Amino acid sequence: MKSKSLSIQIDDFKIKGPSDRMAQLLIAGLLTQALPQAANVQPVTITEIPELGATWQGQGGVNGGLVTERGDVPAHYLIFAAEDAGSHEWGRRGETSGATSKTDGLANSAILLEEGDHPAAKTASKYTADDHNDFYLPAAAELYQGWLNCPEVFAQDCYYWSSSQRSAYGAFLMSFGAGTQLNYGKSGELRVRPVRRFFI
């Protein structure tokens, strides 16, 4: 039995074929005209990256800039808390700490919390914002990145503790007014600014 055929003609163009196949072509042509073209569809942006120092909605603070991959830590953005978490001692003056990294505040903070009696690190780790509870005391290089990228979000008339130990008696600090890094006695009370990492 021979299948039925169907012909479609538009101006001088004519096409003929099995009726079921011709019906599919006709429907496809109609849908092409009814639906928007792919070129007109705007791509979906997963997240908008705010300017340096601006609030990053839902991330618990301000954009402190991109940190490139280092060792086993993938590239990430630093999110500095929008406010200080008070002034506190670094702690355990006269004792050597294992928190010696100049770049990895998260690792330093984990060591300080395990050692115990480090008020600045403990305070930073207890900070929460936008339901994020993974804040820590920044390392010296992380504070320096804050000075490079968004010094205006920090107080200019005081010093901030880093989680990087200098010696048994002192640890590194950052001055955002002068842009200098020094070290200070661990029993001194300096400002604490928590930070967290945002991996994208």
Q: Kindly state whether residues 23 and 64 are assigned to the same domain.
A: no
CB–CB of 112/121 below 8 Å?
A: yes
Q: Does residue 48 lie within any of the structural domains? A: no
Q: Kindly state whether residues 116 and 85 are assigned to the same domain.
A: yes
Question: Is residue 98's pLDDT more than 90?
Answer: yes
Question: Is residue 64's pLDDT more than 90?
Answer: yes
pLDDT of residue 38: 44
Q: Does residue 59 lie within any of the structural domains? A: yes
Q: Does residue 160 lie within any of the structural domains? A: yes
Q: Kindly state whether residues 30 and 83 are assigned to the same domain.
A: no
CB–CB of 80/146 below 8 Å?
A: yes
State mean pLDDT over 76-98.
98
Q: By mean pLDDT, which of 31-35, 68-72, 77-81, 148-152 is the weakest?
A: 31-35
State mean pLDDT over 117-141.
98
Q: Kindly state whether residues 71 and 109 are assigned to the same domain.
A: yes
State mean pLDDT over 66-80.
95
Beta strands in the chain (DSSP E): 5-10, 13-18, 55-56, 61-67, 76-81, 87-89, 159-165, 170-175, 180-185, 189-191, 195-198
Q: Does residue 46 lie within any of the structural domains? A: no
Q: How far is CA 192 from CA 5, 24, 30, 35, 71, in A?
A: 81, 68, 64, 56, 26
Q: Kindly state whether residues 59 and 144 are assigned to the same domain.
A: yes
Q: Which tokens belong to 103?
A: 């770049």
Q: End-to-end distance of the chain based on CA atoms, in angstroms?
A: 62
Q: How many domains does the chain have?
A: 2
Question: Is residue 91's pLDDT more than 50?
Answer: yes
Question: Is residue 104's pLDDT more than 80?
Answer: yes
* Residue 59 burial (C-beta neighbours within 10 Å; 0-12, 13-18, 19+): middle
Closest CA to 134 of 87, 195, 88: 195
pLDDT per residue as tens digits for the range 177-186: 999 999 999 9
Q: Does residue 142 lie within any of the structural domains? A: yes
Q: Which tokens belong to 61?
A: 């603070």
Q: What is the C-alpha to C-alpha distance for residues 185 and 170, in angstroms, rounded to an integer?
A: 4
Domain coverage including residue 92 = 55-198
- At 40, the pLDDT band (50, 70, 90 cuts) reads very low
Q: Kindly state whether residues 138 and 94 are assigned to the same domain.
A: yes
Q: Taking the model in full, what pTM does it have? A: 0.77
Q: Does residue 144 lie within any of the structural domains? A: yes
Q: What is the C-alpha to C-alpha distance for residues 156 and 86, in angstroms, rounded to an integer?
A: 15
Q: Kindly state whether residues 98 and 160 are assigned to the same domain.
A: yes
Three-class DSSP category at 5: strand
Higher pLDDT, 96 or 37: 96
pLDDT per residue as tens digits for the range 153-194: 999 999 999 999 999 999 999 999 999 999 999 999 999 999
- At 122, the pLDDT band (50, 70, 90 cuts) reads very high
Q: What is the C-alpha to C-alpha distance for residues 140 and 173, in angstroms, rounded to an integer?
A: 7
Question: Is residue 45's pLDDT more than 50?
Answer: no
CB–CB of 176/101 below 8 Å?
A: no
Q: Does residue 86 lie within any of the structural domains? A: yes
Q: How far is CA 3 from CA 9, 16, 21, 25, 37, in A?
A: 20, 13, 11, 17, 35
Q: Kindly state whether residues 179 and 83 are assigned to the same domain.
A: yes
Q: What is the C-alpha to C-alpha distance for residues 99 and 126, in angstroms, rounded to an integer?
A: 18
Q: Kindly state whether residues 35 and 75 are assigned to the same domain.
A: no
